[in-house]
């Protein structure tokens, strides 16, 4: 068994001029970074960590935007033997007050020794620091010495064993970024081996293209650690550039002959709706062998919309694949077989909602469920009832798993760690079911809405909302509000639109109401159409349903 440092040293000594990352920026030439540049830039950060007295295995929080500094600061922490954790940078979509509160909460639980950021952001960070907290050093990106060759024998990271914690992934949520998923060298490398085998990773042929943020497992593990440690070229653009110009993803795949990309479910619809043909002139997507949807749940309709939009540019249907992934298992739990499109299970929507059984059905009243694939070779998965008993195929229950890629702990959260397990089995909080070894994920346990005894998954309602013309893809949220008069929950939908005329807003709300009522198990009453940027998001870009619910109730 080995550690990150062993792998990095091998890349540095055996193929120093091999390109590790192509950094892309809006209106600039792509920047190619070799393994030599990556490790020498990282060494500059390792040196300042040592100069500032940061000890091996202390946590360093990185608050940096897309670019060289983020890459070097992360790998510099690994070289030094510290534990890096990437936190989202403050943007216009985040409330400054909420951001500072989240940062204070993270500091109080994770107890980092240092924070790395830019000089222009120093004041914002200092406003979140408090007397007596753990942060001893605020390191600014302009304090570095020039890049220099690393002396591997003197680096603190070489003192680490495979069982030592190598990084923290802070899970996203509506109450801050307080739950740090601690991962060891062994866990991450086991995951990269098992997941790489499941997608038939080929260091001689594959090229990863990504816009995903590095503070989320899909971006950090699949679209950053996997290619860099496995010696696969990575084409990395800013998530903000992608949102403004999503066609750049297709252009980059065409330019670099990209083969692998991971996307959240909303991105399929977003690309299908937003990208115009004029931006795809000369684009060839034939090299793409897998675009992997890692949302929970994944949507058949999203894949179909994406395929119909881009098939004339060389996209193959079997390129659209799925995976069930989570930070607590480092990343992947399941993966669909890349040889053919993911399995589709058409079931009775009413029975699914009311009886928690996936009964095969076709035609009116049915819904298509898309498989997230089969479990990785190093992972075991069960579907459990509330008493912890394993359920048979097609019966919906909570997904539990165990593997050799699991988290070491929720960092500094022993009670939370203990509560998350049933014996050796990690309880994911996700609902799903099996059919012939294929896992179908239906939604989050804690977000389920119960209406008159019916189990309503907010993701199902939101998917229907996006089918209504005038609603922004990825900018709607559904949640339950308890009604004391009826003794059950009412479903509320809040959706963004650019409409400003009141009559048009009323008509759009009515269209949403009618569409949901006609295509689901509920009679929707409450729809609120709001202007752009109303919907609150988690750090990973998901709708923060709890926070949106609070905001909605506060405006009532």
pTM: 0.85
Cα 217 from Cα 224, distance rounded (Å):
10
Q: What element of type H or E holds 369?
A: strand 366-370
Fold of the 448-554 domain: GMP Synthetase; Chain A, domain 3 (3.30.300)
State which residues of the chain have pLDDT below 50.
173-176
pLDDT at residue number 292? 98
Identify the CATH number of the domain defined by range 4-243.
3.40.50.12780
In 3D space, the residue among 393, 391, 308 whose CA is nearest the CA of residue 343 turns out to be 393
User: Which contiguous run of DSSP H or E holds residue 545?
Assistant: helix 545-554
Tell which residue, 543, 508, 342, 338, has the closest CA to residue 441: 342
- Strand partners of residue 397: 432
Name the token pair of 366: 């049915």
Beta-sheet strand order (sheet of 180-184) = 165-170, 180-184, 409-410
Q: Given the structure tokens 């690994």, which residue do they identify?
A: 78
Residue with tokens 């399929």: 268
Domain segments of the chain as ranges: 4-243, 448-554
Q: What's the confidence (pLDDT) of residue 174? A: 36
**For residue 344, what are its two tokens?**
């589709």
pLDDT for residue 173: 44
Residue 487 pLDDT: 60
Residue 514's pLDDT is: 92
Residue 427 has which token pair? 């309880």
Report angle CA 257, 294, 528 to the nearest 5 degrees.
115
């Amino acid at each position: 068994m080995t550690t990150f440092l062993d792998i990095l040293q091998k890349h540095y000594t055996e193929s120093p001029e091999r390109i590790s990352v192509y950094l892309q920026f809006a209106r600039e030439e792509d920047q190619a970074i070799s393994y030599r540049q990556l490790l020498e830039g990282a060494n500059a950060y390792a040196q300042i960590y040592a100069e500032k007295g940061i000890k091996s295995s202390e946590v360093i929080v990185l608050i940096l935007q897309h670019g060289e500094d983020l890459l070097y600061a992360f790998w510099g922490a690994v070289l030094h033997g510290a534990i890096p954790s990437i936190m989202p940078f403050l943007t216009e979509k985040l409330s400054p007050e909420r951001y500072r509160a989240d940062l204070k909460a993270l500091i109080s639980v994770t107890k980092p020794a240092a924070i790395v950021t830019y000089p222009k952001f120093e004041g914002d960070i200092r406003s979140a620091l408090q007397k007596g907290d753990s942060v001893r050093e605020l390191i600014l990106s302009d304090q570095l010495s020039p890049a220099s060759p690393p002396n591997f024998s003197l680096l603190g990271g070489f003192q680490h064993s495979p069982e030592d914690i190598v990084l923290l992934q802070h899970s996203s949520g509506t109450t801050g970024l307080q739950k740090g998923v601690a991962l060891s060298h062994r866990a991450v490398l086991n995951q990269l081996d098992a997941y790489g085998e499941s997608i038939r990773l080929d260091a001689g042929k594959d090229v990863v293209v990504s816009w995903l943020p590095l503070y989320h497992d899909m971006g950090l593990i699949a679209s950053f650690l996997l290619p860099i440690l496995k010696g696969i070229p990575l084409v990395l653009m800013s998530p903000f550039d992608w949102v403004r110009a999503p066609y750049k993803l297709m252009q980059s795949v065409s330019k670099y002959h990209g083969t692998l990309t991971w996307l959240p479910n909303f991105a399929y619809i977003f690309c299908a709706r937003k990208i115009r043909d004029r931006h795809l002139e000369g684009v060839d997507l034939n090299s793409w062998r897998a675009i992997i949807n890692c949302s929970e749940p994944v949507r058949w309709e999203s894949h179909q919309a994406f395929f119909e939009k881009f098939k004339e540019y060389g996209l193959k249907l079997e390129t659209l694949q799925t995976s069930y992934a989570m930070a607590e298992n480092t990343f992947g739990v399941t993966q669909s077989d890349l040889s053919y499109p993911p399995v589709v299970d058409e079931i009775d929507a009413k029975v699914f909602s009311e009886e928690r059984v996936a009964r095969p059905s076709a035609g009116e009243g049915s819904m298509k469920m898309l498989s997230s694939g089969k479990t990785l070779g190093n992972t075991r998965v069960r579907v459990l009832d509330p008493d912890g008993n394993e359920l048979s195929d097609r019966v919906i229950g909570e997904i539990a798993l165990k593997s050799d890629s699991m988290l070491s702990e929720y960092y500094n959260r022993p009670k939370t760690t203990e509560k998350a397990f049933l014996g050796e089995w990690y309880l994911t909080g996700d609902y799903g079911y099996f059919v012939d070894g294929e896992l179908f994920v239906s939604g989050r346990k804690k977000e389920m809405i119960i209406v008159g005894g019916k189990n309503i998954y907010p993701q199902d309602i939101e998917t229907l909302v996006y089918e209504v013309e005038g609603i922004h893809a990825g900018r709607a949220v559904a949640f339950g509000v308890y009604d004391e008069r009826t003794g059950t929950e009412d479903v509320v939908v809040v959706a963004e639109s650019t409409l400003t005329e009141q009559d048009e807003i009323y008509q759009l709300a009515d269209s949403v109401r009618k569409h949901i009522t006609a295509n689901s198990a509920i009679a929707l009453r409450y729809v609120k159409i709001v202007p752009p940027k109303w919907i609150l998001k988690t750090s990973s870009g998901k709708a923060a349903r709890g926070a949106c619910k609070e905001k909605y109730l506060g405006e009532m």
